[in-house]
């Protein structure tokens, strides 16, 4: 049997059924908690536990293009109940708490996290075919995507990612972390995403271009005091070092930084400007017969 890839949708379902408080409140289909992508099987399907068809969860993930993050979107979750068993009001806070703020790292594509947006009630009419009155709550989550932002060398994002991962191994750095699954940020183990805001030419010499890149550091942890603690530690450590070593061994110098403890983690709490050099010429030695000469070419 071919193993199914752990997609974003598969990880969301896995998170829900692994949550014991949610799983025990749901009906059973093929002996598993009743959680379905898009739509549940018909009530007369043989896979249902005849005594526990409700409550059930149906969800749908939709994404769209967003210029900065490449993708964003929404997750809709319907908690469908009948007259018997736990109510949607009992299950809704469990689902909201279980999914909000968690990072999902799929086998393919970028990691995402979910932020609860709203909850509304719905009420299906009585269906004579199944003899059940169905009602429930529908939750909507905003989906945020976190591309690695790493490009060709010299790459300031890759350099800062590597620096943070090495200096602070307790941090889960997006772009370095490649383990498939879901990660719950904690005070002790936050998730950090580094984003490039802009890059501009500072000056130019014969063989080198000097660039300035402004990077944003996003820190995700459960409470604002936890995020402030890590932002302060990251800022102090980078300022103390004064530079970050790029992957080619060249230095990336700190020009300025500013942080906003009131900013949310989606927009980024710390911004740092770095300056670094990029060779614009390639030097090598070419031999013509017995004569060696230096050749300079544009990249």
pLDDT on residue 66: 62
**Alpha carbon 189 to its chain's center:** 15
Confidence of residue 1 (pLDDT cuts 50, 70, 90): very low
The angle formed by the CA atoms of residues 264, 266 and 271, to the nearest 5 degrees, is 75
Q: Quick check: do 8-145 and 156-282 share a fold?
A: yes
Can you give the residue ranges of every domain in the chain? 8-145, 156-282
pLDDT on residue 70: 52
pLDDT digits (tens, 9 = 90+) for 40-84: 998 889 999 888 899 999 999 987 766 665 557 899 999 999 888
Nearest to 29, CA basis, from 13, 11, 15: 13
CATH topology assigned to domain 156-282:
STM4215-like (3.30.2000)
Average pLDDT of the residues of the chain:
87
Alpha-carbon distance 235 to 272, whole Å? 9
What share of the chain in percent tops pLDDT 70? 87
pLDDT (average), residues 236-261: 91
Q: Give Dmax over CA atoms of the chain in angstroms.
A: 96
pLDDT on residue 251: 93
CATH topology assigned to domain 8-145:
STM4215-like (3.30.2000)
Residue 134 has pLDDT above 90, yes or no: no
Confidence of residue 299 (pLDDT cuts 50, 70, 90): very low
Alpha-carbon distance 64 to 86, whole Å? 35
Alpha-carbon distance 281 to 283, whole Å? 6
C-beta of residue 135 within 8 angstroms of C-beta of residue 81 = yes
Provide the terminal-to-terminal Cα distance of the chain, rounded to the nearest Å: 49
pLDDT (average), residues 10-25: 96
Nearest to 252, CA basis, from 121, 157, 143: 157
Local structure of 230: helix, strand or coil: helix
pLDDT on residue 67: 61
pLDDT digits (tens, 9 = 90+) for 84-131: 889 999 999 999 999 999 999 999 888 999 999 999 999 875 555 555
Beta bridge partners of 172: 191
pLDDT (average), residues 31-39: 94
Nearest to 36, CA basis, from 97, 53, 129: 53
Which residue intervals of the chain are DSSP H helices? Answer: 8-18, 20-23, 88-99, 156-167, 224-241
pLDDT on residue 71: 56
pLDDT on residue 280: 72
pLDDT (average), residues 143-159: 85
| Pair type for strands 112-123 and 251-259 | unpaired
Alpha-carbon distance 16 to 20, whole Å? 8
H/E/C letters for each residue in 7-56?
Answer: CHHHHHHHHHHHCHHHHCCCCEECCEECEEECCCCCCCCCCECCCCCCCE
Model pTM score? 0.84
Residue 23 has pLDDT above 60, yes or no: yes
Residue 7, C-beta contacts closer than 8 angstroms, at least 6 positions apart: 106, 107, 108, 109
Mean pLDDT lowest for which of 3-12, 94-103, 171-180? Answer: 3-12
> Tokens in use for 174?
């997006």
pLDDT on residue 139: 97
pLDDT on residue 65: 63
Q: Considering just the CA atoms, what is the radius of gyration of the chain in Å?
A: 26
């Amino acid at each position: 049997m071919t193993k199914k890839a752990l997609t974003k949708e598969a990880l969301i379902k896995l998170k829900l059924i692994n949550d014991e408080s949610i799983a025990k409140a749901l009906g059973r289909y093929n002996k598993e908690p009743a959680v379905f992508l898009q739509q549940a099987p018909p009530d007369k399907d043989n896979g249902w536990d005849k005594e526990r068809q409700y409550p059930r969860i149906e969800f749908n993930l939709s994404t769209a293009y967003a210029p900065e993050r490449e993708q964003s979107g929404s997750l809709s979750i319907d908690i469908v109940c009948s007259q018997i068993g736990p109510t949607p009001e009992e299950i809704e806070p469990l689902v909201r708490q279980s999914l909000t703020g968690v990072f999902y790292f799929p086998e393919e594509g970028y990691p995402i996290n979910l932020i609860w947006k709203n909850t509304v009630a719905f009420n299906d009419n009585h269906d004579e075919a199944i003899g059940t009155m169905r009602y429930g709550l529908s939750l909507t989550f905003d989906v945020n995507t976190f591309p690695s932002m790493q490009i060709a060398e010299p790459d300031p994002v890759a350099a800062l990612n590597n620096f943070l991962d090495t200096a602070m191994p307790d941090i889960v750095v997006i772009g370095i972390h490649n383990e498939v699954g879901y990660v719950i940020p904690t005070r002790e183990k936050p998730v950090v995403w580094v984003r490039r805001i802009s890059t501009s030419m500072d000056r130019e010499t014969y063989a080198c271009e000097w660039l300035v890149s402004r990077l944003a550091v996003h820190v995700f942890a459960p409470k604002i005091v936890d995020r402030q603690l890590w932002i302060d530690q990251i800022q102090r450590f980078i300022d103390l070092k004064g530079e970050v070593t790029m992957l080619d061994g060249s230095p990336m110098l700190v020009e300025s930084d500013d942080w906003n403890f009131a900013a949310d983690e989606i927009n980024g709490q710390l911004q740092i400007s770095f300056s670094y050099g990029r060779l614009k010429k390639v030097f090598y030695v070419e031999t013509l017969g017995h004569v060696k000469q230096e050749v300079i070419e544009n990249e």
